Amino acid sequence: MIWTLFKMGCLALYGLGLAGWAGWLPPTWALAFGRIAVALLLIHALELLFVMRHVRRYPGPLAASIGLTLLFGLLHWKPLADAKS
């Protein structure tokens, strides 16, 4: 349940970043949410390098697991790592 709420928060941040990029937000908000969204994606990309072994445990395609890790990071791979133990 808590993972779902955090995932919704990630999606909201990405949505606000896209809305800012599209010009639907005031300039100061657009800049702030755009930077947050890009920073989150970069952090998750770096995180992916270190947790690839857990990402591979996803029962679906590896590309889907990589995409989910880029979107959600810890929120995607941590339950996979916990399922191992």
Mean pLDDT of 50-60: 95
**pLDDT score at 85:** 66
**pLDDT score at 70:** 95
Q: Residue type at 21? A: W
Cβ–Cβ < 8 Å for 69, 76: yes
Mean pLDDT, rounded, of the chain: 94
Structure token digits, residue 17: 């970043």
**pLDDT score at 83:** 87
Structure token digits, residue 25: 């937000």
Q: Could you give the CA distance from residue 21 to residue 48 in angstroms, rounded to a whole number?
A: 25
- Give the residue from 13, 2, 25 showing the smallest Cα distance to 71: 13
Angle between helices 62-72 and 74-84 (to 10 degrees): 120
Tell me the chain's radius of gyration from C-alpha atoms: 14
- Convert the pLDDT of each residue in 3-27 to its tens digit: 899 999 999 999 999 999 999 999 9
For residue 54, the Cα-to-chain-centroid distance in whole angstroms is 15
